[in-house]
Amino acid sequence: MSQEIAVVGSPDFTTGFRLAGVRKFRNVPDEEKDESLDEAVMETLDDDEVGIIVMHDDDMDHLSRQARQAVEGSIEPVLVTLGGGAGAGGLREQIKRAIGIDLMDE
């Protein structure tokens, strides 16, 4: 069974992914993130067809503690954040969490 990529965030963030062929998305306008982002993320986490959730790194600040713990601890689907201050160290941690080993370990 193949799994899909889902993107959650502002319409500006999700549009590029949709144009690239991502079919699963949840638009949460910036002015509604504090009220609606948790619900969008949790529903995406519960979708059995989703293997990867993509979010903007800055949107993590809008999640409640419970939602943040759920996405950070999720193995399937795995969360990938882009932009913001994630940098190389953040990407390294995301890869490590996704596959279970640190490919860059010396």
Dihedrals phi, psi of 37, to nearest 5 degrees: -65, -40
Rounded to an integer, what distance in angstroms lies between the CA atom of residue 59 and that of residue 99?
24
Express each pLDDT in 11-38 by its tens digit.
999 998 899 899 999 999 999 999 999 9
Q: What is the DSSP string of 14-68?
A: HHHHHHTT--EEEE--GGGHHHHHHHHHHHHHT-TTEEEEEEEGGGGGGS-HHHH
Q: What is the pLDDT of residue 86?
A: 47
Dihedrals phi, psi of 80, to nearest 5 degrees: -120, 125
pLDDT above 80 (res 103):
no
Per-residue pLDDT averaged across 76-83, rounded? Answer: 88
79 by DSSP, 3-state: which?
strand
